[in-house]
Every structure is written in structure tokens, then in C-alpha cells.
Structure 1
């Protein structure tokens, strides 16, 4: 699947949140959306998922508009994992993951063998098989996020859009989630993930898109996007760099003093 966004602009509450966004996404690639708070990452992800209309610009899915493609077809092709892991239902984890199969089923139809297999694969991949009978209110925030990730994986969509899927996860499950998302992409699906951890973004993503003040500041290979000038401009930080197992990494190290601080 390919998503083409051209000259996207969005205003929320009278404020221009996105402007002039040009972005191409394709299957088989893991793309990290990074940028400071308020840069427009979540807004852009919701536009790409057709959950929020753009005020200007065009959006095409394999060359078609969402309307031409049809809501049900789009729901089968794009899976969306929202930020926060908030769940308002008192449901068992297994039932929540099963919701990911709804786009593939006729109304009121029972799960078939393909549904059961997809649910089992998703729960195993997200390491939540042991939670099948537990209600979501009995799980920690990180455990709930893994269940919701499994629900998104159960769709077996051509494109997975995930908004901060590492929120609340411990370091082990952060690494496992990023490895899982990368495997999902390299198996043929497209993955777009909003991230705040620059070292994980640089290590696991094939490509990074850096947003700043509602615009694309940089788009390309991680080492080119995570250069000193881009990080200073977008985040106002200096980074410490190193390498492990032949892979470079960048760790936020210190804020760059503001002009009023240096003047004093």
C-alpha cells in the first residue's frame, strides 16, 4: 500500500497545526515520526488514518481518495493505534484484541478460523497471550498498551499507524515492541510510528520524518535526520553520540542555552 499526502494543512481551535506537509509512505518500510511536543505528530497521524479531515491538500491511498476506496476497505488496509492506551470498556483482553478483526467480518457473523488464527498470532507477537481472560482494568498501563497493539496487529492491515506505542512500557518491552514493529514492516506492511526516544527511533526505523512547528524539517535516513543542526533547531538540545554493535546512537545530553541566558 502507498499513502501520498500533498500540501496538507490542518487548523485546530483557530491555530494552524500542520502546513505544507508532503509525505509519501509505502509498504515494507518503518517510518518514525519525531519532533518536539506540539509539532503536529499526532495530528498528522490522524489525518493519514482518515480520522481527521485536512483543511487543505490531498490524500491518496493507492491512488484513490478515502471516499473512492470506501470506509470498510480502508478499515481493512489501515490499522490505527491511538495514544495513551485509554480503554473505557470492562472487557477481557482477548475480546479487545478480537475487535481488530471486525473490518474483515460481516455484521453479526461469528469469528472464523482465519480470525482465530490472526488473533492468536497478534497476542503472541505482543506477548499478551497470558492476559486473554483478564479484564483491561486489571492490567497496568503498559500491559494495556500491549493489548491494544495486539488489537492493531490483528487487523493484519497493509499499513499500521501507531501513536506513541512505547508509552508506559518498561525497557524490555520497548525493545520488543520496536523489534516487532520492524518485523511487521519488513514482512511487507507499512509502519508509521510516533516516537520520542531518539535512540530507539534511529536504531529501529528505516526512515525518520522530523516535524517542527507543523512542517517537515527533515525526511530521510536516520543518520541524516538526527544530525546536530536538526536536533538543535527542533529540540534545542545537544546530543552525545556513540556506537554499539556497529550501530550509531544519539542521546539527548544538554539543552542549548537560550539567547537570553547567554546574554546574562
Structure 2
């Protein structure tokens, strides 16, 4: 599947949240959405998932509108992992993951062999099998996020949209989730993920989309998007750079001082 968005604009409470955004997501690539708090990243992801209707512009799914594609078929093709990891009812972790299979089932039908296999794969992929039988309220924040990621993976969709899946995870599981998302993209699924860790974004993403104040600032390879000029203009920081095993990395190192120039942001 390919998602193409053109001219997306949206105001909420009279405030512009998205301003004339053009982007595309394709199968087999891992795209990181980055930018400061309030840049419009979550809103953009929700528009792409057909959860919010923009004021202007359009989103096409393999060339079709969401209405033409059909809500049930779209639910099979796009998996959405929301920010925060809130679960408002008590249920076993395995049952929660099973909710990801609902788009594939007929009304009132139970799980079939394909559903159970997908649930098992998703739990294993997120290192959540050990607490599959625990109820959600007994899980830590990090464990809950891994279960919710497993639910999204259980859909086995063409596109996975993930809003800050690293929140509440320790460094080991942050690396494991990024490796998992990268493998998922390499297996043919399109992955778009909101990230605040620029180091992990640079290391694992094939492409980065940089937003600031609702505008698209840059869209391209991590090396081109995470330029010194963009980091200074958008984030107000200077990065330290290096390489490990032949791969470049960067670390947010210090704030710009008042004596250092910072380009006016749009």
C-alpha cells in the first residue's frame, strides 16, 4: 500500500496545526516523524490513519479515498498505535493483542488458527510472551506499551503508524523495538513512527520527515534532514557527531547560546 497526502491543512481551536503538508509513505520503508513538541506530528499521523479529517487537502490510499477504499479494508491495511498506552478496561494481555485481529474476523466470530498464529508471533516479536496471561493493570508502563505494539503488529497490516512507541521503555527495549520496526519494514510493511530520540531516528530510519509549527521543513535521508542548520533552526541545539562500526551517529549536545545565530522558524 502507498499513502499519499497532498495539501493537508488543519486548524484546531483556531490555531493552525498542519499547514499545506505533502508527504507519501510506501511499503517497505521506515519513516521517522520528528520535530519539537507541538510540531503537529501526532495530528499528522492521525490524519493519515483517517482518524481526523483535515480542513483542506486529501489523503489517498493506493490512489483511492478512504470512503472508496472502505473502512473495514482500511482497518486491515493500516495499523495504528496511539500515544500513551492507556487501556480503560481489565483484560489479559493476550486478549488485548487479539483485538488486533478484529478487522480480519466476521461479526461475532471467534479466533481461528490464523488469528492465534498472528497473536503468538506478535507477542514473541515484542518480547511480551512471558506476561501474556497477566491482566493489563498489573503491567508496568513499558510492558503495557510492548503489548499495545504487539496488538498493532497482530493486524499484519501493510502500513504501521506508531505514535511514540518508545515512551516508558528502558534503553534495552528501546533498541529492541527499533530493531523490530526496522525488521518489519524490511519485511515489506511500511512503518511511520514518531520519535524524539534523534540518535535512534538517525540510526534506524530510512527516511525522516521534520515538522515544525505545522510545516514540513525537510523530508529525506537522515543525514540530509539532521543537518547542523536544521538542528539549529528547528530544535535550537548543536549536535556532537561520530561513528561506530562505520555508521554515523549524533547526540544532542548543547543549546544554542544567545550569541549564536538561529534562523527564524516559519
Question: 1:53 matched to which residue of 2?
Answer: 53
CA distances 1:88-139 after superposition (whole Å, capped 9, x unpaired): 1111100000000000000110111100000000000001011111011101
SS at match of 2:36: coil
Supply the distance in 1 between the matched residues of 2:203 and 2:79 (Cα, whole angstroms).
Answer: 23
The 2-side partners of 1:144 and 1:240 are apart by: 33
Paired position in structure 2 for 1:253: 253
Q: Which residue of 1 aligns with 2:74?
A: 74
Instruction: Show the counterpart of 2:200.
Output: 200
The Cα of 1:30 is off from its aligned counterpart by 0.2
1:227 and 2:212 equivalent?
A: no
SS of 2:110's equivalent? Answer: coil
Matched with 1:95 is 95
Q: What does 1:166-177 correspond to in 2, within 5 Å?
A: 166-177=166-177
In structure 2, the partner of 1:13 is 13
**Offset at 1:13?**
1.1
Deviation >4 Å, runs of 4+: 259-262
After TM superposition, the structure 1 = structure 2 runs for residues 129-148 of structure 1, keeping only pairs within 5 Å, are 129-148=129-148
d(CA) in 2 for partners of 1:179 and 1:24? Answer: 23
Q: TM-score, normalised by structure 1?
A: 0.97
Shift of 1:260: 11
TM-score, with structure 2 as normaliser: 0.97
Matched length: 262
Q: In the TM superposition, what whole-angstrom CA distance separates every residue of 1:126-174 from its partner, at most 9, and x where no partner exists?
A: 0101111101110100100000000000000000000000000000000
The 1:240/1:33 distance shift into structure 2, 3 A limit, reads same
Match of 1:179 in 2: 179
Shift of 1:213: 1.1
1:257 CA displacement: 1.9
Alpha-carbon deviation of 1:258? 3.7
Give the equivalent residue in structure 2 for 1:150.
Answer: 150
- After superposition, the Cα gap between the structure-2 partners of 1:144 and 1:22, relative to the gap in structure 1 and judged at 3 Å, is same
Aligned equivalents of 2:259 and 2:84: distance in 1? 35
**Structure 1: any 5+ residue segments left out of the alignment?**
none
Report the equivalent of 1:25.
Answer: 25
Q: Secondary structure at the match of 1:36?
A: coil
Unmatched tracts of structure 2, length 5 or more: none
Partner of 2:126: 126
